Amino acid sequence: GAVVSQHPSRVICKSGTSVKIECRSLDFQATTMFWYRQFPKQSLMLMATSNEGSKATYEQGVEKDKFLINHASLTLSTLTVTSAHPEDSSFYICSATRDRAKGYTFGSGTRLTVV
């Protein structure tokens, strides 16, 4: 089956530093990857959609310069939280698909804590 690996699972960083989160599709080529943010006891909030080799499409209200997304290959997308602040602390989840008709596979998520 389709497997998506996300690293790290947990990260603690100091305010003002940047953090990179990786999302890899292990056994398929992902034409599209998605990045979500989830607050406690709330559903998933789509942040951006990325296609390999092109710029990400950000959802309204998501700062492009703060959440940098790179989708350099069909198996790897990265999300970099730049100049992180405590309000950026959240659960970030990536998702990938090779065929939208067959569903979306999610990574295991990254718990980011900014202190």
Partner 1 sequence: EDQVTQSPEALRLQEGESSSLNCSYTVSGLRGLFWYRQDPGKGPEFLFTLYSAGEEKEKERLKATLTKKESFLHITAPKPEDSATYLCAVRGNAGNNRKLIWGLGTSLAVNP
Residue with Cβ nearer partner 1 (28 or 104) = 104
Verify binding: residue 62, partner 1, rule CB under 8 A: no
Sign of the torsion angle spanned by Cα atoms 85, 91, 96, 102: negative
Verify binding: residue 21, partner 1, rule CB under 8 A: no
Q: How far apart are CA 41 and CA 23, in angstroms?
A: 23
Three-class secondary structure of residue 12 per DSSP: strand
Peptide linkage before 86 cis (omega within 30 of 0): no
Verify binding: residue 53, partner 1, rule CB under 8 A: no
Residue with Cβ nearer partner 1 (16 or 103) = 103
Verify binding: residue 73, partner 1, rule CB under 8 A: no
CA 57 to the chain's CA centroid: 13
Verify binding: residue 109, partner 1, rule CB under 8 A: yes
> Which residues bind to partner 1, rule: CB under 8 A?
4, 6, 32, 34, 41-44, 46, 49, 57, 91, 93, 95, 100-109, 111
